[in-house]
Amino acid sequence: MKRTRIQEDEVLERLWHLREDGETKVATLAEHLGAEFDPALLLHLADGRWIYLWEDDQRVELTARGLPRAQQLIRAHRLGERLIHDAFGGDFETGACEFEHIVTAELVDAICTLLGHPRECPHGSPIPEGACCRRAERVVQSPAVPLTELEVGQSGRVVYVRCADDSLLHKIEGLQIRPGVTVSLHQRYPTFVIECQGASIALSEEVAAAIRVWHAHPASAAEETPPPPVTRDWISRLLRRP
């Protein structure tokens, strides 16, 4: 029987979950996998040195080779949930279920940086740290933050708009506030006033909070260049890939 990479990955992911819970029993793994449990697949993974199997006490654990592979899968899945939840406000569990199988490690790091290196998924589970997170600890970060967190006089590059209301999204796009443009905050009260592409625009707090920007820290601008902005359409096409 030919086994797919996705079938292998599902087992490794489940083993990571059990590891977080302190569980190592094959019986517990079988219970969690249900009808998908395949003892022959466990032997296949053991032969490939992805997992250890102890027959005497029926334990199963990730090996030094399998651990980083499982970690990357979990990292991609939980960042996918975080992205969908923060950017779209939709069904993040369904949308992220295949995410970890179709993205590269480089794209996962780009999404992590885009979101400001989040520590938890929407369920509250920890997101494994990546190389981009470790680099960010040594330099001044430029995370994606709501426009409302800028101080008067500060600027930021628009990354995405977090908005579940299509009418509000169209209103923001109609103001030419799109991913990639730079905005400067001139006023916070009684309304937010920004400069965008040479025009002064007044925004309500609700609209301003929906706009996520790269905070342009002068000290870090030369040290680390943020990745290109990711548009809603591009992400939607990616998540719909078969």
Domain boundaries, the chain: 5-63, 80-141, 144-216
Residue 191 above 80 pLDDT? yes
Confidence (pLDDT) at 7: 87
97-110 pLDDT, tens digit each:
667 766 778 788 88
Confidence (pLDDT) at 40: 83
Instruction: With beta carbons less than 8 A apart as the criterion, state whether 200 and 186 touch.
Output: yes
Residue 57 above 90 pLDDT? no
CATH class as words, domain 144-216 = mainly beta
DSSP state of 36: G
Confidence (pLDDT) at 74: 93
Residue 170 above 80 pLDDT? no
43-52 pLDDT, tens digit each:
888 888 898 8
Q: How far is the C-alpha of 230 from the C-alpha of 107, rounded, in Å? A: 11
Reading the block at residue 26, the tokens are 């094959």
Q: Which of 16-20, 23-27, 113-117 has the lowest mean pLDDT?
A: 113-117
User: H/E element holding 108?
Assistant: helix 105-114
Region 128-146: mean pLDDT is 68
Residue 239 above 60 pLDDT? no
The dihedral built from the CA positions of residue 167, 173, 179 and 181, taken in this order, carries a sign that is negative
Instruction: With beta carbons less than 8 A apart as the criterion, state whether 204 and 188 touch.
Output: no
Region 24-50: mean pLDDT is 87
Q: How confident is the model at residue 180 (pLDDT cuts 50, 70, 90)?
A: confident
**Average pLDDT over all residues of the chain:** 77
Identical fold at 5-63 and 144-216? no
Sequence-distant (≥ 6) Cβ neighbours of residue 171 within 8 angstroms: 207
> Which residue(s) pair with 203 in the sheet?
192
Q: Highest-confidence range of 56-65, 66-75, 172-181, by mean pLDDT? A: 66-75
Q: How far is the C-alpha of 134 from the C-alpha of 117, rounded, in Å? A: 10
Sequence-distant (≥ 6) Cβ neighbours of residue 54 within 8 angstroms: 60
Region 173-196: mean pLDDT is 85
Residue 70 above 50 pLDDT? yes
Instruction: With beta carbons less than 8 A apart as the criterion, state whether 127 and 82 touch.
Output: yes
Region 126-144: mean pLDDT is 69
Confidence (pLDDT) at 98: 64
For the segment(s) 5-63, the CATH number from 1.10.4030, 1.10.10, 2.60.40, 2.20.28 is 1.10.10
Instruction: With beta carbons less than 8 A apart as the criterion, state whether 177 and 196 touch.
Output: yes
